[in-house]
Structure 1
Amino acid sequence: MSSGPLISIVLPAKDQAPFIDDALVSLRQQFQDPTALQVIVVDDGSSDGTGELAAAHARFLPHLSVLRNETPTGLASARNQGLAHATADVLGFMDGDDWLARGHLQQCLSELRRLDVDFVRTDHVQVKGGHRVLVRAPQARRSVVLDPRESILPEHTSTMVDYPFAWAGLFQRRLVDRGLLEFPPGLFTAEDRPWIWRLFLQATSYAMIEAPGIMYRRGVSTSLTQIYDERQLDFARSYLMAFEVLEADPEAGRFWPKMARQFLAVAAHHRTRREGMDATVKERQTALIRSVLERIPRAVLAAEFKRLDHRRRALLGPVLPNGVRKGKVAA
């Protein structure tokens, strides 16, 4: 038997009663020794008994704890709350409506130890109904030590900062000590954008490994990606926080085109969702996107807008700062 958990998994869950048993049963199948795993479920204001269902797994997971928030704090704050209770030297995240293939965490831990990197990243399997699709992370080099900063570029193709899923990998505790695993508190959506940028700008090493054992449900009605209220506007606040991370970097100019292009793509996506929003939320979305665009260096914004496809230019043209759409950039 182990003297303490090898991995701490933080699992925030709000109203996940239909799925939480699948998640926790899969965690019970990760190690032969059940004490190797600490599971911290953060019941974030559920009203459907999610916390009680999770607690019933304690006899199979000796290091299981359930933290209860009477009112929802949001995914970012719930993850931070769980991190504060994690005791293992290796940490990971999981969502309450996902599940893992048998032995997935054991495989990831072995690779993390073998390569001795700050963190490892994995592919995942997207599940929608009975249909499954393997989603590969945008890094072709596998099972070798890589520099995270060099995986941010090039700006015009998908890179590792476009794969922001916190649950797709494992992390050394030394990243917690450096403040690189904490999420921006209070965000209900897009909390992973400033998080992934800080991680890849400031961590020392990582590896992409062949371990596609995460089953990620899509199309769940309770997912915030399916909701069209004020919480969806957090993406704008999220990118302002990401901008602050980048602005503090000594090579900010090198990475601004990538950051700008990424925000333009995300903003265009949110513009396509306007039909599902009420008038007030639409107005706030427009104002917030415009305010974020104002923070991007004008020459960078003009260049990246020009490179967009016609559809995205049409969506974003009405919210651009004066002069950018026509290529008139102030000196």
Structure 2
Amino acid sequence: MSSPIVTVILPAKDAGPYIGTTVTTLARQFQNSDRLRLVVIDDGSTDDTRVQVQHFARDMPHVEILSNAHSVGLAAARNQGLEKVDTEFFCFVDGDDWMHPDRLESLVASMRRLECDFVRTDHVTDTDGRRRLMRAPFAWRERVLAPRDAILPADETTMVDYPYAWAGMFHRRVLDEGLAHFEPGLFTAEDRPWIWRLHLQASTFAIVDAPAILYRRGVTTSLTQILDRRQLDFLPAFAEAIRVVQDDHDAERFLPKIATTTMSVCAYHLFRARAMATSERTALRSGIRDLLRAIPPDQIDSALQRLSDRRRRILARLVREVRAA
């Protein structure tokens, strides 16, 4: 039996209707299934997620299932999986997504050829069977560069706006250097401080082509579809991202980007807040005021000008309130 070379971290909560597809596609990633180690974190599921994994992974030789009696959230669940990594490479997949055959074998080949800390890929969204290719927002492919060179410009979509942990593969030195873990306790936006830390502190990365990973959109149990207090986790997530940037030796270069992104996301959530309960809407507005105070004052006006007209109008009142306080 060969030793695994890739650990796949698969957190799942109530993913019973989908996770069979996920696991089945993982079994088709290498010519020799011994090369893959699967760590599943059943995060407080109340359905048959664990049974489905056991059934569809029955012929996979390296499978470990961790079970949480109560949900700890995606960030903490991924961290549990990271503690189990003992292979040269690792990657993530969510319990309602899946990938084309040989994707991971292709990514391992890219990692070894390019000898970089991590690679990133495009992905495909699937919304009720309608598929759309989403390109990683960076011009260069198959070229090893410093990740911080993919952060700017501030007024365009860049790689820190493409935070999907599952859209790539990582060498374990990223884990050894303390760059792989997520902020615990976050149920949403856990990948925002994570992607900033990765791009500021890792040494090398590349964008590569590979067989697709497919991201299922519109799942009713997804937190992106639920308007409750857990949505407010983007507030501490972005506060931590701002802190990560401010601690960087080249903070002044990157503050315009994190300020613009933060304010754009705040405007997006304010727009969605119309469908929230009054208490959540009040908490959201209070939290956004605090988040705006975390942005250096000299960055606010220029960041506002980079937003669309609609988002600028949505956010303008809270900006005035913060300045008047």
Normalising by the smaller structure, the TM-score range is: over 0.9
Residue identity matched to 1:110: A
Does the Cα contact within 8 Å between 2:186 and 2:237 map onto a contact in 1? yes
Matched, 1:237 2:231: no
Report deviation, 1:199. 0.1
Report deviation, 1:302. 1.6
Does the Cα contact within 8 Å between 1:302 and 1:324 map onto a contact in 2? no
**Separation in structure 2 between the aligned mates of residue 211 and residue 104 of structure 1, nearest angstrom:** 6
Aligned residue runs from structure 1 range 62-141, under 5 A: 62-141=61-140
Report deviation, 1:321. 4.9
Pair 1:299–1:261, CA change in 2 (3 A): same
Two-structure CA RMSD over aligned residues (Å): 1.2
Which of 100-109 and 58-67 deviates more?
A: 58-67
Structure 2: segments with no counterpart, 5+ residues: none
Superposed CA offset, 1:28-80 (max 9, x none): 00011111000111000000010121122343211111100010000000000
Aligned to 2:37, the other structure's residue is in SS state: strand
Matched, 1:285 2:284: yes
Aligned residue for 1:21? 20
Pair 1:323–1:243, CA change in 2 (3 A): closer
Aligned residue for 1:51? 50
**Separation in structure 1 between the aligned mates of residue 305 and residue 90 of structure 2, nearest angstrom:** 41
Report deviation, 1:177. 0.7
Does the Cα contact within 8 Å between 1:8 and 1:87 map onto a contact in 2? yes
**Separation in structure 1 between the aligned mates of residue 195 and residue 320 of structure 2, nearest angstrom:** 27
Report deviation, 1:268. 1.0
Report deviation, 1:324. 5.6
Residue identity matched to 1:214: I
Does the Cα contact within 8 Å between 2:23 and 2:57 map onto a contact in 1? no
Matched, 1:164 2:163: yes
**Separation in structure 1 between the aligned mates of residue 47 and residue 257 of structure 2, nearest angstrom:** 41
Which of 310-319 and 194-203 deviates more?
A: 310-319
Does the Cα contact within 8 Å between 2:103 and 2:212 map onto a contact in 1? yes
Report deviation, 1:212. 4.7
Does the Cα contact within 8 Å between 2:11 and 2:43 map onto a contact in 1? yes
Does the Cα contact within 8 Å between 1:126 and 1:217 map onto a contact in 2? yes
Q: How many residues align?
A: 324
Aligned residue for 1:300? 299
Aligned residue for 1:328? none
Which of 70-79 and 308-317 deviates more?
A: 308-317
Does the Cα contact within 8 Å between 2:96 and 2:216 map onto a contact in 1? yes
Aligned residue runs from structure 1 range 146-185, under 5 A: 146-185=145-184
Aligned to 2:65, the other structure's residue is in SS state: strand
Which of 130-139 and 200-209 deviates more?
A: 130-139
Pair 1:287–1:11, CA change in 2 (3 A): same
TM-score (norm 2): 0.97
Does the Cα contact within 8 Å between 1:125 and 1:212 map onto a contact in 2? no
Superposed CA offset, 1:157-176 (max 9, x none): 11100000000000000011
Report deviation, 1:258. 0.2
Aligned to 2:95, the other structure's residue is in SS state: coil
Superposed CA offset, 1:128-179 (max 9, x none): 1121111001012101111101110111111100000000000000011111
Identity across the alignment (%):
47
After superposing on structure 2, the runs of 4+ consecutive aligned residues of structure 1 that deviate more than 3 Å are 321-325
Does the Cα contact within 8 Å between 2:193 and 2:238 map onto a contact in 1? yes
**Separation in structure 1 between the aligned mates of residue 168 and residue 220 of structure 2, nearest angstrom:** 25
Aligned to 1:92, the other structure's residue is in SS state: strand
Does the Cα contact within 8 Å between 1:23 and 1:100 map onto a contact in 2? yes
Structure 1: segments with no counterpart, 5+ residues: 326-331
Aligned residue for 1:329? none
TM-score (norm 1): 0.96
Report deviation, 1:322. 4.6
Aligned residue for 1:320? 319
Aligned to 2:215, the other structure's residue is in SS state: strand
